[in-house]
Structure 1
């Protein structure tokens, strides 16, 4: 727990608030019916095939991806493990209380709301330097091992999971494309405002 010696209360509160908000943002996109985040296309497809809740599939896939870190020699942190569990629980809780809107204007409005909230959530949990999410760690591990660019590796992973998820029945829509285009610039702008200063030796480096 040496990672928490610097501003522990602020970092823990921000970490878990960010993860809960991340799950809520995922649920908002699901309720829009206009597409979901790239990895959620896979999660949704698997959930429909297995008859599991979306949150349960998110947790299981996150755990399996975390196992893939072993040969890549990536190092998880508290934030990594928490990411696997908390987001899935928050997602299922949000879906249990959020109604399914039928009016198209409401569904459309949910898309920018969800993307903006997800950007805040992502910057919040990355900004505490307690470890990247399992999917981001997979990307950075593959980048380090293969020597390929972050853009190429990330694009390859996301195209693969979207294609597989779509074949399994996941929702691929305009919101998926908008999310992919907007999330990087939004997180880049928000991260400096939500980063907690941590000595380099104690920080688990976030994903860029």
Structure 2
């Protein structure tokens, strides 16, 4: 930590934190839309949202917003408290995803779709590091995971795996897209998120529990990604 960082108050970091939060959420929503356009398989929650979209006729963005809001209701018995980042996550991701889908046409050439998939996953990891490092609260899905982790005492990885397998299975049964992109996302997002969390960490900001992927031995308050 530099001398300047040591003399900064938490309020001094607010402009940067807000920029990171909303830049991260915008890029995250864009990455979701690009992965859908790649047409090679989605991450678990998007598989579920796509399945719901198929049966309701609602846009993917609208379903993403609605599902995020419903998941927040599950926070109540878990005694989770939403932050600015949580509420912003619910709204921004869906709006940006729909905007991205409107701007990027359907693609057929595999030579374009494969690089687009790789770029979308990389962008998602970058976005994850940006918005989580801002420390304005987890997204509704991450909060559900950490809430269950704290209430049950089960390892975060086990809780996350159970949730995502269930979500993926339901989404697949509803007609969501599962493929190589689903596998690539599952394998890459953890290492990418951890790398970018360290890259975008705000030096001098008071330590708080980290949020994205934890070691099995981590206590509840150190819930998801060790920085």
Do Structure 1 and Structure 2 share a fold, with TM-score over 0.5? yes
Gapped runs of 5+ residues in structure 1?
none
1:137 corresponds, among 140, 143, 149, to 143
Considering only aligned residues, what root-mean-square deviation do their CA atoms show, in Å? 1.4
Correspondence 1:19 to 2:25: yes
Q: Deviations over 1:64-116 (max 9, x none)?
A: 11110010011111001100000100000000000111111101111110000
SS of residue matched to 2:111: helix
Please tell me whether residue 146 in structure 1 is matched to residue 152 in structure 2: yes
1:63 aligns with 2:63: no
172-181 or 188-197, which deviates more: 188-197
SS of residue matched to 2:177: coil
How far apart are the structure 2 equivalents of 1:133 and 1:205? 13
What per-residue deviation string (whole Å, max 9, x for no partner) do you get for residues 23-67 of structure 1? Answer: 110011100110011100000000010000000000000011111
CA distance in 2 between partners of 1:48 and 1:60 (Å): 15
For normalisation by structure 2, the TM-score amounts to 0.87
- How far does residue 199 in structure 1 lie from its aligned partner after superposition? 1.8
Residue 206 (structure 1) shift: 2.9
Determine the C-alpha separation between the residues in 1 that align with 2:85 and 2:27.
14
- 1:45 paired with 2:45, answer no
Structure exhibiting the larger radius of gyration computed from Cα positions = 2
Structure 2 unaligned spans of 5+: 1-9, 213-224
Q: What's 1:100 paired with? A: 106
Q: What is the CA–CA distance in structure 2 between the aligned matches of 1:196 and 1:95, rounded to whole Å? A: 32
**Matched residue of 2:175: which SS?**
coil
Alpha-carbon offset, residue 13 of structure 1? 1.1
Q: Work out the number of aligned pairs and report it.
A: 204
SS in 1 for 2:58: coil
Give yes or no for contact 2:128–2:196 (8 Å, CA) kept in 1: no
Q: TM-score when scaled to structure 1?
A: 0.94
Greater relative CO (CA pairs within 8 A, separation 6+): 1
Q: 1:132·1:205 contact (CA, 8 Å) conserved in 2?
A: no
Residue 199 of structure 1: aligned partner: 206
